[in-house]
Amino acid sequence: AQSVTQPDIHITVSEGASLELRCNYSYGATPYLFWYVQSPGQGLQLLLKYFSGDTLVQGIKGFEAEFKRSQSSFNLRKPSVHWSDAAEYFCAVAAIYSSASKIIFGSGTRLSIRP
């Protein structure tokens, strides 16, 4: 069965520091992978997605993620965080050729930014 694990519930980084949020997935074939961000009081906004091809995916707001099949990971990175990046981040996986009903979300990682 598909599953997504985000091992870090809460991370605090200093403004200007680099960021990496971890995501591990479980799926038997090549998955579709997503990162969403939820700012306080807001809905989920798509940051980036991976379907195939280049394993390093660029997204909005300066984020990128790298798909590593050997590690079943899809970690989100940003070289220098800004105070406005404080939010909750969700990794999600969908089965390829799926009916799109089987997108599974991780439990989320809350990011706080230290001034």
Partner 1 sequence: DADVTQTPRNRITKTGKRIMLECSQTKGHDRMYWYRQDPGLGLRLIYYSFDVKDINKGEISDGYSVSRQAQAKFSLSLESAIPNQTALYFCATSDRASRGGTQYFGPGTRLLVL
1 binds partner 1 (CB under 8 A): no
- 19, 60, 34, 21 alpha-carbon torsion, rounded to 10°: 0
Query: Taking a C-beta distance cutoff of 8 angstroms, is the pair 7, 24 a contact?
Result: yes
Counting runs of H as helices and runs of E as strands, what totals does the chain give? Answer: 0, 12
Given candidates 51, 61, 79, 82, which one binds partner 1 under the rule CB under 8 A?
51
Binding segment for partner 1 among 20-28, 55-63, 78-86, 102-110 (CB under 8 A)? 102-110
Q: Which amino acid is at 35?
A: W
Query: Which pairing describes strands 32-38 and 44-50: parallel, antiparallel, or unpaired?
Result: antiparallel
Give the nearer residue to partner 1 in terms of CB position, either 14 or 107: 107
107 binds partner 1 (CB under 8 A): yes
Given candidates 49, 64, 77, 86, which one binds partner 1 under the rule CB under 8 A?
49
Query: Taking a C-beta distance cutoff of 8 angstroms, is the pair 61, 85 a contact?
Result: yes
Q: How many residues bind partner 1 (CB under 8 A)?
A: 25
Binding segment for partner 1 among 19-27, 32-40, 53-61, 70-78 (CB under 8 A)? 32-40
